[in-house]
Structure 1
Amino acid sequence: MVGLRSKLGRYVRPALAALLVASVANIGTVDAAAAPLTIKGNKFFNSQTGAQFFIKGVAYQLQAKTDPLVDKAQCALDAALMQQLGVNTIRVYQVDPTANHDDCMKIFGDAGIYLFVDLANYETGINEDNPYWSQTQLSSFAAVLDAFANYDNTVGFWIGNEVITKASGARAVYFVAAAVADIKTHIKDKKYGHQVYIGYANTDNADTRPFVQNYLACNHGTADSSIDFYGVNAYEWCLPTDTFETSGYQRLTGYLSDAKYDIPAFLSEDGCNTSPPRLFQDMSAVYGPDMSDWWSGSIVYEWINEANKFGLVTYGNVSNPATAVGGDPYARYITQRE
């Protein structure tokens, strides 16, 4: 089905279009030919220009258990539309490390679009109910790392995604930290062409989030056992009447500012569709003065529309797709920071 999409029309939800247009305008434009990013303190920077980098991202999977970075025609279609919308980052949850990704990674890189990729697949992820870390898992994680680390537009890898979701699963964090240490040793041994970073995407659960992020952000005597960046999957700004103060965003930001982490943080998944249509009003806070000192942007969930109705793009025979594309969800909120 994926291969056929390149021959079909496309429709971008108008609310997303308006939002993307809003964001790109305030925090810079998409860079052509993505130079490697570096981390200094709690910010990302372009290694060539020195400019601070704000993530304007989207989760990009297309189909479960299917590598979205192997179909050149599909990648070209999506990258062109993402560039039009102001997207500069994608998050990919599952890839095939044995496949050739050169074409798709070049297409996205030429469009100024960076990549964060999850290291675990459905079989190798750490399970909070029965946590362990094995050589089999390490080998699988390392294979994904090796497949993507040398692309200039690869920023980093997720060591885990919402591994700990409940208080009874908190001990799994020690296995996540062990995975971080082993993967960082692998990175040192491989000597990739540029620095790659390791992060963790936390569930937004107040019972577990503070402990998990504190433990993984701490050095434990060596930086090799701590994460380099931190994400929160946040689904809190749900109503048209929500604000920075009434949503959970003020609480999330307050915890970051109080903890004073010296690593970048961003929303690794973002969105809420309990009160459609999705208006993405939270972007005015994410890229505004309330949050931008502590947060480095957001990855909107998700690109393709599935049964859960979170998707931003629907492929089909649209009579006039050019008029259906209403703009860009990031443009409106990002221009004022130039």
Structure 2
Amino acid sequence: MLKTALFGLAAATQAIALATIQAKGSKLFTSDGNQFYIKGIAYQLTEDDPLAQGDQCKLDATLMKTLGANSIRVYHVDPTADHDACMSAFSDAGIYAWIDVDTFSTYILPDNPEWNETMYDAYASVIDAFHNYDNVAGFYVGNEVLTTGASSIAAPYVKAAARDMKAYRDSKGYRSIPVGYSAADIADLRPNLQNYLACGSNSSESLDFFALNAYEWCGQSDFETSGYTFLQQNASDYNIPIYFSETGCNTPKPRTFDDQAAILGSDMADSWSGAIIYEWIQEANDYGLISYGPSAAATATNAVGGYTRSGTPTPISPDFDNLSNHWKTLTPSGVSMSAYNPSASAPSCPAFTSGNWLVSGNVPLPTLGDAFKASGSSSGSSSGTSSGTVSASPSSSRAGTGGSSASAAPSSTGEAAAATSSAAAMRNGVPVIAQWAVWLGGR
């Protein structure tokens, strides 16, 4: 990891070598030329920023290394905080970070989407704060923004956010850290969204990767019964990397994580780049791999929703061992970057489908300051509040998300409140009048 810290007028730079992650074609590679497969854990101890607690990160990173993890996903960070100790701890353990750049007040709203300078600045500030860490693997510009056919109107805004963050990254001379999106597993919506985010001849407007939050494989299932065979069919000719950004159904108990053998084995490893398991800490939704101690009073200083948020991590049996035992035996070698010649072309942009996909082909993307304008609306601006996530998704650690997956996983009592959209964008002190609209079929 490359780390730069400033102390008064003195500057210290320390290099701890860890190969960086990059996307090429439909695969992820390390900078030393090896294909990279994610064995990850969702990690959000607090709503504010789990990567600002150095001592806790050291304890957790040590145990994650024992588990066999090489990645974490973090849903919310404070770009003004000091992340050196945590990022060093995870780097020393060989663990990369996949980081969401949106915040509680700047995520893209599914029903009244907009892309403005407040959002742009917030997303860019996270990239500024983390680009120097070699173990940052990628950034998400959204999590589960689209959950219904009606919310597909937000897809161009997701794509616009990715386009602008990629351009910002490049304009600053940062390394090409992949920028992507984490999608809800909605069967009727997923194929169109998956293709839309990668479609078009202009690669600067396409995402660098697509990730999926899926809880289809539950209990003693298999590749065909679980529905993973259909996920594989949709990914087999995909032109950008695809992986599971959340998985790990928790009913029935115990969690066996048998899907890892499919994802990291012969069924899917040629198309998929691994998986992130939901989640590290035990809380009310009962998805934890570890606990920091017994239940605590809701008023306890070190607790949220009755669950302790720091301390010595203790594996939860048998779930922790079940996952560890799978990962020990699953080591796909993939292909070397030098020997890999991508052949898949970008998919066609999906056409308008009434009630299911409301974007008509490869529409021009919103520019900064644009908001959705429905047919017949008198104003192009939109602001409002999200209704929050529904109770079908494990989301206490997924604060700041714009939607929810259709899995059977219950939400936690620690769920974040709905967020209010950002204020109108300003350019040179003048409000930007939103004029862009998604062109709906039949308009």
TM range (shorter): 0.7 to 0.9
- Paired amino acid for 2:226: S
Counterpart residue number, 2:208 = 228
Q: What CA deviation, in whole Å up to 9, does each residue of 1:33-88 have, x standing for no partner?
A: 5310122221111212x22111000000012x220001111000000000111100
Q: What CA deviation, in whole Å up to 9, does each residue of 1:295-331 have, x standing for no partner?
A: 0100000000110001111112799969977472543
Q: What CA deviation, in whole Å up to 9, does each residue of 1:121-175 have, x standing for no partner?
A: 1211001111111110000000011111121011110011111000011110011
Runs of at least 5 residues in structure 1 that lack an aligned partner in the other structure: 1-31
C-alpha distance in 2 between matches for 1:228 and 1:306: 32
C-alpha distance in 1 between matches for 2:194 and 2:91: 30
- Are residues 1:91 and 2:87 paired? no
Within the candidate set 6, 29, 34, 2:18 is matched to 34
Flag the structure with more relative contact order, 1 or 2, with Cα contacts below 8 A and sequence separation at least 6. Answer: 1
Counterpart residue number, 2:330 = 334
- Are residues 1:282 and 2:259 paired? yes
Within the candidate set 165, 169, 182, 2:151 is matched to 169
- Paired amino acid for 1:38: Q
C-alpha displacement of 1:332? 3.9
Q: What CA deviation, in whole Å up to 9, does each residue of 1:109-131 have, x standing for no partner?
A: 11110011001112110011111
Which structure is larger by alpha-carbon Rg, 1 or 2?
2
Question: Is the CA contact 2:246–2:277 (under 8 Å) kept in the aligned structure 1?
Answer: yes
C-alpha distance in 2 between matches for 1:321 and 1:87: 16
TM-score where L is the length of structure 1? 0.84
Matches within 5 A, 1:168-187: 168-187=150-169
Instruction: Tell me the SS of whatever aligns to 2:159.
Output: helix
Which structure 1 residue ranges, 4+ long, deviate > 2 Å from structure 2? 317-327, 329-333, 335-338
C-alpha distance in 2 between matches for 1:45 and 1:128: 32
C-alpha distance in 1 between matches for 2:243 and 2:109: 24
- Paired amino acid for 1:127: L
TM-score where L is the length of structure 2? 0.65
- Are residues 1:244 and 2:223 paired? yes
Instruction: Tell me the SS of whatever aligns to 1:97.
Output: coil
Counterpart residue number, 1:56 = 39
Q: 1:165 to 1:72 in 2, by over 3 A?
A: same
Q: CA RMSD in A?
A: 2.2
- Equivalences, count: 300
- Paired amino acid for 1:117: I
Matches within 5 A, 1:125-136: 125-136=107-118
* Deviates most, 78-87 or 317-326: 317-326
Instruction: Tell me the SS of whatever aligns to 1:106.
Output: helix
Within the candidate set 172, 181, 188, 1:207 is matched to 188
- Paired amino acid for 2:66: Q
Instruction: Tell me the SS of whatever aligns to 1:34.
Output: coil
C-alpha displacement of 1:97? 0.3
- Paired amino acid for 1:184: K
